[in-house]
Amino acid sequence: MFFVAVMAAGLWGLGAAFGAPQRSRWIMILALLVTVIAVHLVLPVGHTVRLALGETAAPWLFVLGIAGLVWGYRWMLRRLRTQAVVKEEAAAIDAPLFSETELNRYARHIVMREMGGAGQKALKEAKVLVVGAGGLGSPVLQYLAAAGVGTIGVIDDDVVDNANLQRQVIHRDDDIGTAKVFSAQAAMIAQNPFVDVRPYQRRLTDDIAAELIAEYDLVLDGCDNFETRYLVNKVCVQTQTPLISGALTQWEGQLSVFDPAKGAPCYQCIFPQAPAPELAPSCSEAGVIGPLPGVVGSMMAIEAIKVITGAGAPLRGEMVIYDGLYGESRKIMLEPRADCPICSKSE
């Protein structure tokens, strides 16, 4: 038995030296124990190897049984603790606001320290407008609906095209020719019937932007043209509505939270004017790798959840740039521009 104990200690130390997590080290020791028991069951009595490993399998079976009981006890404690946290947090939520099905659906949110019942309640009561139901809009809409954001508006004047389906995963082949806002609405309701989806099948223009954005607490912009981006930014600054903006091309994407009311710059602080067309070609001209909108759009959805619930540190005054081709990401700091024609007037 001493020899096996030394081997177990050696495996534990080796795993620690190579930075293996404790779970992996325990698995290695369990594999060693199972191997020792197998040797006792396979080799004949009196075999040299069996003698070196303790002559009989009985002690090792006993050890394995005790380990199983300890693991089962700890697993049960974790399960009971999780259920208790869910019930405690759920008790803090207004009973009429959530059904039993919803509480079970959002349990993985409610048990998180940064979210809890209060965070899920904030999501339920939030109103979020998503500009664009294309590449970035697809994951944003899917994850906001799945997360339980109570009211989600989506504005887009386009229809689903066959060329969209390589990356705009909220739409299906059967949706070709359907307005994107209605295709997205159907997918979101199918995912989570407890959310209210408001589709606007039209382009966001200056005559409706202020009135529409004023109805929402947060705007996420994933549109594909600078004219709309500047319009959204201007109105968000005027209404003091936080704006989460994302953009992508080919293998690279970026996102930030533009919120001058909280000391962050606005979109036009960072991009004072639209680049020349040849410097910022559209996805149809330059191409875009299919999963990239999913990566950046999912990050935008996380930022939205953080802004709504107050969890963590949203990307105010920061921009994340993701390079999918080389698997790299970097964060740069952003500062308000004193001569910005949009947000400097509001200070």
pLDDT at 347: 43
Do 151 and 295 sit in the same domain of this protein?
A: yes
Domain edge (last residue) among 43, 64, 91: 91
- Within a domain: 120: no
| Total count of domains within the chain | 2
- Within a domain: 111: no
Do 64 and 136 sit in the same domain of this protein?
A: no
Do 80 and 191 sit in the same domain of this protein?
A: no
Q: Which residues contact 105 (CB under 8 A, 6 or more apart)?
A: 148, 192, 194
Q: Quick: pLDDT tens for 134-186.
A: 999 999 999 999 999 999 999 999 999 999 999 999 999 999 999 999 999 99
- Within a domain: 101: no
Do 72 and 187 sit in the same domain of this protein?
A: no
Angle value at C-alpha 180, between 178 and 181, nearest 5 degrees: 115
Cα separation, 343 vs 334, whole angstroms:
14
Domain coverage including residue 71: 2-91
Do 44 and 181 sit in the same domain of this protein?
A: no
pLDDT at 12: 62
Cα separation, 289 vs 117, whole angstroms:
38
pTM for this structure?
A: 0.73
Give the domain CATH number at 218.
Answer: 3.40.50.720
C-alpha torsion sign, points 331, 243, 232, 283: positive
**340: helix, strand or coil:** coil
Angle value at C-alpha 125, between 268 and 132, nearest 5 degrees: 40
pLDDT at 346: 43
- Within a domain: 141: yes
Do 166 and 57 sit in the same domain of this protein?
A: no
Domain edge (last residue) among 64, 91, 118: 91
- Within a domain: 237: yes
- Within a domain: 109: no
- Within a domain: 97: no
- Within a domain: 117: no
Do 147 and 73 sit in the same domain of this protein?
A: no
Do 331 and 220 sit in the same domain of this protein?
A: yes
Do 170 and 283 sit in the same domain of this protein?
A: yes
Q: What is the DSSP secondary-structure string of 252-292?
A: EEEEEEE-GGGT---HHHH-SSPPPGGGS--HHHH-B-TTH
Do 133 and 197 sit in the same domain of this protein?
A: yes
- SS3 for 288-322 is ECCCHHHHHHHHHHHHHHHHHHCCCCCCECEEEEE
Low-confidence ranges of the chain (pLDDT < 70): 1-8, 11-12, 15, 18-20, 22, 26, 39-40, 42-43, 46, 48-55, 57, 60, 81-96, 278-279, 345-347
Do 206 and 330 sit in the same domain of this protein?
A: yes
Do 164 and 234 sit in the same domain of this protein?
A: yes
**How many residues in total does the chain contain?**
347
